């Protein structure tokens, strides 16, 4: 894996790892990242979709989940770890947070770091052209729906999620790439709502890139995080700015 450097004052941002027991090499890469590069950082921000899916905190005892939780907890003893929910793991709650010693953050969250105003988000709420997805997102983020869903047995919840994932993959194959990307108007509205932060960092689209924007005469940057399907990907932020770091499988 690439070495990030010896400087102590930087933060790391990751998202869209989609960890699951069927992809052990990516889980191993993530744990190695937690035990090496992440230990040098001032803080680590996980911006959603840490897991392929999360059926509820009563699934913490799953062996794969225990492996991931244990590694995060070790890092969090010395390096603060923050988490924003993704579209795959929005059911992560205080049970997981307590077990892994992470801090849950709202989506979006505004930070003051390295002399800059930084807004962080998972990013799925910006994909407003995908009307079907946004309707689904509104439904499953409703506390009443979540309470009803969580009242069902864990095995039933997992079966329903697996069926939803299969349906989602079919539907995505029929959607245009543009519909599944962020909407420019939604991005601009978000910058305006938070008084034009210097930076926006998000994931979800799996399209890592730097976008330079001029919004109402304000210079803004939008950084998109990469996924962890074929390799690892993280963003480093320090006083000098942002830079992408690729983590290769051994």
Residue stretches of the annotated binding site: 16, 18, 49, 87-88, 122, 130, 168, 172, 175, 204, 206
Which residues are documented as binding site for Mn(2+)?
A: 16, 18, 49, 87, 122, 204, 206
Token representation of residue 131:
């009307």
> What is the end-to-end Cα distance of the chain in Å, rounded?
8
What are the start-end ranges of the H helices in 104-210? 131-140, 143-150, 154-172, 177-180, 184-193
User: Which is it for the CA torsion 85, 89, 94, 99, positive or negative?
Assistant: negative
Q: Beta-carbon neighbour count of residue 247 at 10 Å?
A: 21
Q: Which residue has the tokens 């003051």?
A: 112
CA distance 211 to 204: 15
Q: Which residues are annotated as a binding site for substrate?
A: 87-88, 130, 168, 172, 175, 204
Taking the alpha carbons of 170, 174, 176, 180 in that order, is the dihedral positive or negative?
A: negative
Q: Give the up-direction half-sphere exposure of residue 17: CA atoms within 13 A in the CB hemisphere.
A: 29
Question: Closest Cα to residue 92, out of 108, 77, 103?
Answer: 103
């Amino acid at each position: 894996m690439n070495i990030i450097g010896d400087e102590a004052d930087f933060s790391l941002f990751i998202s869209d790892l989609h960890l699951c027991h069927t992809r052990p090499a990516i889980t191993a890469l993530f744990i190695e990242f937690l035990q090496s590069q992440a230990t040098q950082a001032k803080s680590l921000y996980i911006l959603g979709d840490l897991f392929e899916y999360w059926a509820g905190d009563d699934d913490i005892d799953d062996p794969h989940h225990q492996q991931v939780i244990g590694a995060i907890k070790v890092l969090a003893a010395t390096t603060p770890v923050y988490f924003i929910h993704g579209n795959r793991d929005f059911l992560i709650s205080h049970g997981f947070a307590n077990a892994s010693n992470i801090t849950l953050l709202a989506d979006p969250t505004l930070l003051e770091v390295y002399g800059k105003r930084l807004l962080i988000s998972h990013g799925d709420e910006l994909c407003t052209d995908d009307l079907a997805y946004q309707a689904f997102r509104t439904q499953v983020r409703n506390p009443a729906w979540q309470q009803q869903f969580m009242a069902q047995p864990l095995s039933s919840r997992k079966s329903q999620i697996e069926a939803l994932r299969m349906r989602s993959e079919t539907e995505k194959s029929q959607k245009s790439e543009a519909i599944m990307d962020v909407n420019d108007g939604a991005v601009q509205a978000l910058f305006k709502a938070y008084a034009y932060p210097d930076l926006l960092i998000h994931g979800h689209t799996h399209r890592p890139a730097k976008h330079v924007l001029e919004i109402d005469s304000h210079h803004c940057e939008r950084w998109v995080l990469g996924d962890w399907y074929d390799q690892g990907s993280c963003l480093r932020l320090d006083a000098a700015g942002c830079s992408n770091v690729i983590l290769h499988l051994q």
